[in-house]
Chain A
Amino acid sequence: MLLSISGVRKVFGASVVLEDLDLGVEEHQVVALIGASGSGKSTLLRCVNLLTEVDDGVIRLDGEDITDPRVNADRVRQKIGMVFQSYNLFPHMTVLDNITLAPTRVHRRTSKEAREQAREWLSRVGLSDKTDSYPDGLSGGQQQRVAIVRALVNSPRLLLLDEVTSALDPELVGEVLTMIRDLKTDGMTMVLATHEMGFARQVADKVAFLDGGRVLEEGPPERVLGDPTEARTRQFLARIIEAGRL
């Protein structure tokens, strides 16, 4: 198992956001996290990436306990890519510099090597003409694809995607989802928090429904989304259908 989360708890002040949460992710598996807004999807992803400290429980990556306070968080993060809802590109850097920053500074590649790799990726995702643009000259969909490339050039073992299409205009969602679908074909291990149930059904190997701070129900997408056993899951899906998002 590439990622194993067991008994994780996270509290913010008086509110318990995650409580005794368990979740496993196999290598090459795509796991979709679903759940109401505020159910703790982002918090869970941030815990895995060590951007937030857990208050209890263990998270293992490749068998190593990364929640041990003695581990070097920077080294762990080098193995994990993360893409955010609001892209978070660096506005003062060109697309190329955004992408090559970590390869040159963290992974000690030569600038020439990093640039070549970045150009290759950009042409693969159809953004060659944006190489020297600044982020504010790109559409949301283009920015998000650059953000995904920025995470990928570090060859992460695991990619975390936090509602990466939620900030996009509807007509731009497709280009980002296509890119994620291609990543699955390449065998990338991914955990993605999403509200796109149709997409989760297509691309995920496993869907996990977060509720009350735990994974209330998990399994193959057809089962969890098509025939959920828990009443809470059914309620949640009914609300999503009502909102016209399934």
Chain B
Amino acid sequence: MTPSALQQGRIAYRRRRAVRSVLLAALSTAVTGTLLVVAVTGSPGWDRVKDAFFNLELGADAVPAILDGLWLNIRLLVVCAVAALALGLVVAVLRTLRGPVFFPARALATTYTYTFRGVPLIIVIYLFAFGIPGLRLQGTPGVLVLGGAALVVTYGAYLAEVFRAGIESVHPSQLAAARSLGLTYRQTMRHVVLPQAVRRVAPPLLNDTVALQKDVGLVSLAGPIDAVRAAQISTAETFNYTPYIVAAVLFVLLALPLIAVTDGVTMRAARRQNAGT
């Protein structure tokens, strides 16, 4: 069916308006970009900054070492993210348990989240990486594992709170419905509460994972060489900051997929919320 003349007029108008918007956006971007470039490159210190931060040759030399470091970041991120998510979930569930039998578990879980949300990560890394080996126990793992454990324990506490908020956001009537069907508390948690809770808090969980991605590098405080530490070493050798820029660009590239997923999940969650109301 062809639209009426009136509707055709509207369609043509909307198309003209769309074309004009695109042209305007392109023009304003070009102007802003040009102004920025002129302001930066025209500044009195630009030549020195350019040499200190954007030295292509030195940057290229540093890439292999930084990539080596980045590989450590990636491995740590994957292992620590999975472990911290699991720990956070377990702790959050422990905190929901009722009854005297579970008092110790509940108390322990609560103390844990209160403590590790408060202590700065750097201190936890020092305590784990230097304190635990000091005990001279048999089979103490290496600093890398201990540093990773510090990350897991700290982020586990943040994530436990996110999971707990999700669990509490599930309406009590959902529990009543599940229990009235004869489901046990465990089954109710597993099949009714947690799936809804996790869906609801997926965006903040992923946000914390992006934050973890930036913090895994702090294990280098204990010795292991991550991307930032590798850049620092190169910088110290050449007195040039370009390796930092290289590391920063690599970090952004690494974060892009995770950030894109987070945005996608957040948008989907928002759409679902709106559909639900």
C-alpha gap A97/B43 in the complex (Å): 65
Q: State which residues 220-277 of B face A: CB under 8 Å.
A: 275-276
Q: State which residues 116-171 of A face B: CB under 8 Å.
A: 136, 150-151, 154
**B184 within 8 Å of A by Cβ?**
yes
**B182 within 8 Å of A by Cβ?**
yes
Known: A78-B182, A92-B199. A86 touches B187 (CB 8 A): no
Q: Name B173's closest neighbour in chain A (CB-CB).
A: A88
Q: Which of A84, A106, A151 contacts B173 (CB 8 A)?
A: A84
Give the A-B contact count at a CB cut-off of 8 A: 59
Known: A91-B276, A92-B196, A106-B187. A84 touches B182 (CB 8 A): no
> Total interface residues on B, using CB and 8 Å?
19
Q: Name A52's closest neighbour in chain B (CB-CB).
A: B176
**B181 within 8 Å of A by Cβ?**
yes
C-alpha gap A49/B176 in the complex (Å): 10
**B32 within 8 Å of A by Cβ?**
no
**A77 within 8 Å of B by Cβ?**
yes
Chain B interface, DSSP helix/strand/loop, else mixed: helix
Q: Name A76's closest neighbour in chain B (CB-CB).
A: B182
**A71 within 8 Å of B by Cβ?**
no
Q: State which residues 73-121 of A face B: CB under 8 Å.
A: 74-75, 77-78, 80-82, 84, 86, 88-92, 101-102, 105-107
Q: Which residues of B contact A106 (CB under 8 A)?
A: 181-183, 187
A82 with B187: CB separation less than 8 A: no
Known: A51-B176, A105-B187. A90 touches B192 (CB 8 A): yes
Q: Which residues of A contact B214 (CB under 8 A)?
A: none
Q: Which residues of A contact B275 (CB under 8 A)?
A: 136
Q: Which residues of B contact A46 (CB under 8 A)?
A: 176
Q: Which residues of A contact B176 (CB under 8 A)?
A: 46, 51, 84, 88
CB distance from A14 to the nearest CB of B (A): 22
C-alpha gap A31/B269 in the complex (Å): 43
Q: Which of B174, B177, B181, B276 contacts A154 (CB 8 A)?
A: B181
A151 with B181: CB separation less than 8 A: yes
**B179 within 8 Å of A by Cβ?**
yes
Q: Which residues of B contact A92 (CB under 8 A)?
A: 195-196, 199
**B75 within 8 Å of A by Cβ?**
no
CB distance from B163 to the nearest CB of A (A): 16
CB distance from B256 to the nearest CB of A (A): 29
**B191 within 8 Å of A by Cβ?**
yes
Q: Which residues of B contact A101 (CB under 8 A)?
A: 181, 183, 191
Instruction: Jot down 6 A-B pairs with beta carbons below 8 A, ordered by A.
Output: A51-B176, A74-B179, A77-B180, A77-B182, A84-B173, A106-B183
For the A-B complex with A74-B179, A84-B176, A92-B196 known, give 19 more contacts whose Cβ atoms are closer than 8 Å: A46-B176, A51-B176, A51-B179, A75-B182, A77-B179, A77-B180, A77-B182, A84-B177, A88-B174, A88-B177, A90-B174, A90-B177, A90-B196, A92-B199, A101-B181, A101-B191, A105-B187, A106-B182, A107-B182
Q: Mark B residues whose CB is within 8 Å of A.
A: 173-174, 176-184, 187, 191-192, 195-196, 199, 275-276
Q: Mark A residues whose CB is within 8 Å of B.
A: 46, 49, 51, 74-75, 77-78, 80-82, 84, 86, 88-92, 101-102, 105-107, 136, 150-151, 154
